[in-house]
Amino acid sequence: MTIQEALELFGYDAWAHARVFDAAEALTPAQLQATAASSFPSLRGTLGHLVSAEWIWLRRWRGESPTAIPSWVDGASLAELRGHLAGVQAERDGYFAALGDADLARVVEYRNLAGESHAEPLAVLVRHVVNHSTYHRGQVATQLRQLGVTPPGTDLVVYLRLRR
């Protein structure tokens, strides 16, 4: 993996996140909190997890090991979550813009939220974060369908076609 490839994956990730947030913004507050079973009990809960996970991984890449999800997740509105996501994305883009291809081989040592130690190359973790987001965006699509809404397409190939 190169820095350019990592930035392209993060570009895709940001584009796909924007599409699901756009779809969520068309919902009522009651729909956002309604039970829509998946890993999280509501669409808002799933989006909160997506944003907090991206924040946690960026903190780990910067040498920190958060011990809990950020306090701003609980009770945040959709607009606030989207604002936090934009901040994480901007910080992450700046972080990666300062790296070279060789930096992707650097082993990142961190503790997960349970306090367990782990260490993986940064390139592996980049792929993990984008894959994790894709997994949960799939759950958002299911939750949107449960709420009677057609979810947006968020496939990587669609993003790449649109960029051409």
* Closest to 128 (Cα-Cα) out of 151, 152, 144, 112: 112
Please name which of 51, 1, 4, 13 lies closest in space to residue 159, comparing C-alpha atoms. Answer: 13
Check: pTM over 0.85? Answer yes or no.
yes
Domain count, the chain: 1
Averages of pLDDT over runs of 10 residues in the chain (164 residues) are 96 98 94 89 95 98 96 94 98 96 98 97 98 97 94 95 90
Tens digits of per-residue pLDDT, 19-49?
999 999 999 999 998 998 888 999 999 999 9
As a whole number of angstroms, the distance between CA 100 and CA 138 comes to: 32
Note whether residue 91 is domain-resident.
Answer: yes
The enclosing domain of 89 has a CATH number of 1.20.120.450
pLDDT at res. 109: 98
User: Which pLDDT belongs to residue 164?
Assistant: 86
Name residues whose C-beta falls within 8 Å of residue 131's C-beta, 6 or more positions apart in sequence.
Answer: none
Q: Is residue 15, in this structure, part of any structural domain at all?
A: yes
Q: Which domain holds residue 48?
A: 3-159
For residue 39, being part of any structural domain is answered with yes
Give per-residue pLDDT as tens, 42-55: 999 999 999 999 99
Q: Is residue 164 part of a domain?
A: no
Residue 101 is given by DSSP the state G
Q: Beta strands 107-111 and 117-121: pairing type?
A: antiparallel
Residue 100 lies in a domain: yes
